[in-house]
Structures are given as C-alpha cells and as structure tokens.
Amino acid sequence: MMEAPLTVGSMLERAEKFFPKKQVISQTHDKLHYLTYADIGQRTRRLMSVLHELGVQKGDRVGTLAWNHHRHLEIYFGAPGIGAVLHTINIRLSPEHIIYIINHAEDKILFIDEDVLPLIEKIQDQLTTVEAFVVMTDKSELPESGLNPLYSYEELLQSGDPTHPFIEGIDENDTAGMCYTSATTGKPKGVTYSHRGIVLHSFALGIADTAGLSESDVAMPVVPQFHVNAWGIPFASTWFGSTQVMPGPRFTPKRLAQFIEKFGVTVTAGVPTIWLGLLRELEQENYDTSSLRMVLCGGSAAPLGVIKAFEEKHNIPFYHAYGATETTPVATFSRLKSYQQDLSDEERLEERARQGILVPGLDMKIIGNNGEVKWDDQEMGELLLRGPWIADEYYKDDRSENAFIDGWLHTGDVVTVDEEGTIKIVDRTKDLIKSGGEWISSVDIENALIAHDAIFEASVVAIPDAEWQECPIACVVLNEGLAVDGMKEEIIEFLRPQFAKFWLPDDVLFFDEAPKTSVGKFLKRELREQVKAEYNLQD
Ligand code: ADP
C-alpha cells in the first residue's frame, strides 16, 4: 500500500471540493452567521497566510480562548494547515491555571473571543511567550483594550491570501493539536494530538456502530471546542461534509432547543449537566425535536433517569460514550448488540447507561488486585487503553511516568466488565470509597439518587470513619421549590432495597448548588472539603 500521510488540512480540502455548498451556521456575540464550506475554506486559507505574516512557523503553538463558532473552526484547520499546533485553552479555568497553561505550552499567539479579553488583559504581564493577540469580534473596530499588539481577526483576514495552500510534506505523526486536562487535582496536564490521531479518531466517529456521523447530519457540538476538540466533532463533521451548527458564547438551554428546532439538528453532544438543562427547557416549552437522531452524552456518567426522560418522554435517542483528554476522546460507545434488542425496557436502560464497548481500533485491559479481572461485572479494576488516538505521554511533564506505563494509558477509571465486554465505570481511582476492606462505587449510588423524583443533582463522597475506614455521604440538590424536611429519611429508604447495607450513605446533605469543574462535572475535591467542614473533620 502507499504511504499516504493522514493530515488535518486534507479534511477541510475534501469539504471544499465535495461539499462547497454545505453550511456552517455559527452564533457569535452579535449575530448568526451562515457560511458554506467554500467560505470556510477560503477564510482558512486567508488565515494560514496571516499566520505566516505574523511569524508563526511549523511547530509553533497557536492558542485559542474561544467558544464554539466558525472562526474557532477556521483555526482548527488553519493552524495545523501550516504545520503549527492548535492549542485550545479552557476559558473556564482559573486565571492561575490559564497562565500556567499558556506559558507551559509556550503559545506564540493567542486568538481570543471578545468576552475573554478582560481576563487576558489582567494576566498579560505574566505571559512569557505570547507575541501577539487577535480578537475575534464581529465589530468593524477593535475594542478598547490594554493588550498589545492587538489585531482584529476579520481585518487580518481581509489582507490574507484566499488561495494559500495547505502545507505539503507534513509527517502524519507531527503534532496538530493540544489540550490540557481540566485538572480536578494539581496543575493541568498537556496532551498533544497528532495529525494521524485526529484523522483516525474522525474515522471512528463515522462508524455506524459509534456516532455514525455522515454528510446527511446536522451536527451541533455543545461540548466546548476548548474541551478535547469538542470531542473531535468539528473535524469529523467537516471531513464528512455534515452541516454544522455552532452554538456560540454563553449559550442557554433555550438557545439549544431553538437551534435544534430551527436547523433540524440530528446529532448533538455534551456533558450530562447540559442535558439536564435541556430537559428542563423541554418541559417548560414545546419544541419540535423530531430531527434529533442522537444526543451524545459523555464526560461523566449519564444518569439513568436522564436517558429515560429523553427517550420515553421526548422520544429522543440518547447515547452514552466514554473518553478522556488523553484519548482524543472517544474510547467506548454504548449501543445494544443485535441480539440484545429483546431485553426488557428496564434491562435495555441499564445496558444503555453503561459506557459500552471499545471503539474499533483501540485495545483495552482491566487490571484489578490480582491481575486482569474476570468479565463477570463484579470484579473491579483500572481501565488501561492503547491505540493510535491514545496519548503516550503528558507534554513535558514528569507525571507522565505514573499514567503511561509499558505502552498503556492508565486511565485512573475503575470499571467492571460484563461477559459482553461492556464496561461500566464504577469510579475514578481517587473517588472510590473504601469501606471495611470493600470498595463502594460512588457512581452507582449517585445514579440511584438521581432516579429519585425529588432530586435534581447528586454526588457521593467519602468521609473518614474510625470503624470502617471511610463511609459514603450523599450530597443532594433538590428540584426547585422542594422542602428538605423529611427528605433524608425518604432518600435513605428509597436506596435501601437497591444496595447492600454498608453502601447506604451515612448521611444526606442538602445543597442549593453543587460545586462544579469548568466543564460541568462535580468538583468532588471541593465537595469533600465542604462535607468535612460540615462535620468539623480535619485531614
Ligand atoms: P478531567 O480528567 O479533568 O475531568 P477529562 O475531560 O479528560 O478531564 O475527563 C475524563 C474523565 O471523565 C474520564 O477519565 C472519566 O473519569 C470521566 N468520564 C468521561 N466519560 C465518562 C462517562 N461516559 N461516564 C463516566 N465517566 C466518564
């Protein structure tokens, strides 16, 4: 066979060639833009020439601090298109982490959304490698800003060359992108993505047994473009010529519902909190969501109740997938096998809530206390992954040696696996609750809690216990307007028939709001601190 490099630039070239009329619909701060892949292609080519003008060279890191919109999409292809590295930065992180990330990646230039300017102005003096800032505004004039030098994206593009070629001779193993984990503990860790990894991962998103993305889809990635490349959806959708809907800055559940109806969205993807929000919106107002063939949920476990509400109440197919920053990210996908179709409704739901089976192209191992675990759905072990879109190190980081061992990524996720090879995440290694020599899965209890009608959100953390080593505490946010009185007892009674006695939470604490990470996951570290404070416990 020929040795043909798999490159990110060639994905957009395909869209230009075969799908020039297909649309990218993009919400920015001020307006809704309708572009075609012909437009996106030309604009990306202009951008590549501009990047050259600004002194960006092969291997240089191009940082972005931006929401999901067409300009961000253009940088997705423009930076790797000249051999530079697209570095998406999570704008919801603390300034301290953002400074760390930009300096550690040694970003040469930053592309910034207008609403992120104040944040970057504040930290400008601490950025050691950035030589220029570009603001992605709709306005004709540059906003007032202390950033220097500051350029306007659209003005720069005006001066760019719309025929600029994608760079030739890229090694498919060169770095095309990078992203830092959102760091629930410690400093963020950088992961780099090769051209090859991104292209192969895009193939994986097109497989019928995963997301089956195709030309006929209208894809709306709600997961931010600064979080693992919006799970690779902008790359794959462009390559396949799908219509894309980019929901833009500070979107609300209402905007998502309106876009689904207005643009006939077929596939959308995001974390469970997004879908909880959308559910609430769908319950308040009527929308036509009949175009949706897939709501894709990942990032944390999809609660049974949410899957059920989408599918049974709203007739919207809801799919669950698993991955991490280190895995580009899609690693497993949950679908029933052909011979599982006649399971009872309850069994189907249980099955669909699992994280699914490994995507073709990857390899897994699950290591428990005594080597590889049995596929009996009982024995717990850590999930190890390898494959062409799994990272093999953290970028310039000593912590690599703890996670990448003998050619395997140690995910830090504890799973069980059933005889079908379907995995179920029971916890992260650091969140498992150890009680009297046994392990308790906080995730299982959380899923059960969420199924209670009165409960909006739930998280379970451990507190130290003199007798049992650790014991579980349930932290609960009730649905709006509900009183706490009598709820604790009711919740415990609700859980009692579902779990062994030692799994039952020792207490239920009620919160108005749960602390969350920048990507909408429960911030268990902070929750644990709050719970400890509640009981006057010290480390
Ligand atoms: P961070 O590690 O900072 O949270 P990532 O986005 O890389 O950032 O998170 C990956 C982790 O999210 C996985 O290791 C796993 O613990 C969790 N995760 C991802 N998808 C799922 C899922 N479908 N179900 C349960 N947990 C998930």
Pocket mutation for ligand 1, best pick of 325, 327, 426, 431 (most atoms within 8 Å of C-beta): 325
| Position 465 pLDDT exceeds 90 | no
Residue 179 near residue 227 (C-beta atoms within 8 A): yes
Query: At residue 118, what are phi and psi to the nearest 5 degrees?
Result: -55, -40
Strand segments, DSSP code E, in 15-59 are 23-27, 32-36
- Alpha carbons within 13 angstroms on the beta-carbon side of residue 146 total 8
| Position 539 pLDDT exceeds 60 | no
| Position 484 pLDDT exceeds 70 | yes
Mean pLDDT of 69-84: 98
| Position 140 pLDDT exceeds 90 | no
Task: Region of 470 please: left (phi>0), alpha (psi -120 to 50) or beta.
Answer: beta
Ligand 1 pocket check for 301: Cβ under 6 Å: yes
Report the topology of domain 433-534: GMP Synthetase; Chain A, domain 3 (3.30.300)
Alpha carbon 122 to its chain centroid, in Å, reads 27
Q: Could you count the other beta carbons within 10 Å of the beta carbon of residue 200?
A: 18
Residue 75 near residue 111 (C-beta atoms within 8 A): yes
Alpha helices in 371-486 (DSSP H): 400-403, 442-450
Tokens 């029933």 belong to: 336
Check residues 327 and 529 and name the one with the higher pLDDT.
327
Q: Calculate the alpha carbon distances from 247 to 224, 263, 418 in Å.
A: 9, 11, 38
Q: Where are the domains of the chain?
A: 8-251, 361-428, 433-534
Tell me what pLDDT residue 431 has.
83
Using alpha carbons, select from 233, 216, 215, 213 the residue that is nearest to residue 224: 233
Distance 271 CA to ligand 1 centre (A): 10
Q: Could you count the other beta carbons within 10 Å of the beta carbon of residue 445?
A: 22
Mean pLDDT of 484-501: 93
| Position 538 pLDDT exceeds 70 | no
Ligand 1 pocket check for 298: Cβ under 6 Å: yes
**Triad 303, 304, 310: Cα angle to 5°:** 95
Amino acid identity of residue 29, one-letter, is: H
Reported as a single tens digit per residue, the pLDDT across 360-392 is: 999 999 998 889 999 999 998 999 999 999 999
| Position 307 pLDDT exceeds 70 | yes
Tokens 């669909």 belong to: 352
Ligand 1 pocket check for 383: Cβ under 6 Å: no
Q: Could you count the other beta carbons within 10 Å of the beta carbon of residue 55?
A: 11
Check residues 431 and 207 and name the one with the higher pLDDT.
207
Lookup: tokens for 534: 């509640």
Which one of 134-143, 195-204, 464-473 scores highest in mean pLDDT?
195-204
Q: How far apart are CA 234 and CA 70, in angstroms?
A: 10
Distance 534 CA to ligand 1 centre (A): 28
Ligand 1 pocket check for 187: Cβ under 6 Å: no
Q: Kindly indicate the confidence band of residue 403, based on its pLDDT and cuts at 50, 70 and 90.
A: very high
Ligand 1 pocket check for 425: Cβ under 6 Å: yes
Tell me what pLDDT residue 303 has.
84
Using alpha carbons, select from 199, 169, 179, 193 the residue that is nearest to residue 58: 169
Q: Calculate the alpha carbon distances from 177 to 174, 194, 235, 322 in Å.
A: 9, 7, 12, 20
Distance 227 CA to ligand 1 centre (A): 11
Reported as a single tens digit per residue, the pLDDT across 233-257 is: 999 999 999 999 999 999 999 999 9
311: annotated active-site residue: no
Mean pLDDT of 303-328: 95
Mean pLDDT score of the chain, rounded to an integer? 94
Of the residues 184, 379, 420, 439, which is catalytic? 439
Ligand 1 pocket check for 320: Cβ under 6 Å: yes
Tell me what pLDDT residue 184 has.
58
Pocket mutation for ligand 1, best pick of 210, 231, 300, 446 (most atoms within 8 Å of C-beta): 300
Tell me what pLDDT residue 173 has.
98
Lookup: tokens for 106: 């040694």
DSSP at 102: H
| Position 445 pLDDT exceeds 70 | yes
Distance 324 CA to ligand 1 centre (A): 5
Q: What number does the ligand 1 atom closest to the CA of 184 have?
A: 3
When the candidates are 3.40.50.12780, 3.40.570.10, 3.40.50.300, 3.90.1720.10, the CATH number that belongs to 8-251 is 3.40.50.12780
Q: Kindly indicate the confidence band of residue 464, based on its pLDDT and cuts at 50, 70 and 90.
A: confident
Lookup: tokens for 208: 């019928």
Distance 124 CA to ligand 1 centre (A): 31
Tell me what pLDDT residue 520 has.
73
Tell me what pLDDT residue 139 has.
87
Q: How far apart are CA 163 and CA 159, in angstroms?
A: 12
The two counts, helices (H) then strands (E), for the chain are 17, 27
Using alpha carbons, select from 384, 448, 373, 387 the residue that is nearest to residue 418: 373
Q: How far apart are CA 362 and CA 377, in angstroms?
A: 21
Distance 330 CA to ligand 1 centre (A): 10
DSSP, collapsed to helix, strand or coil, labels residue 40 as helix
155: annotated active-site residue: no
Tell me what pLDDT residue 517 has.
77
382: annotated active-site residue: no
375: annotated active-site residue: no
Of the residues 308, 365, 434, 521, which is catalytic? 434
| Position 136 pLDDT exceeds 60 | yes
Tell me what pLDDT residue 488 has.
95
Of the residues 114, 172, 326, 457, which is catalytic? 326
Report the topology of domain 361-428: Luciferase; domain 3 (2.30.38)
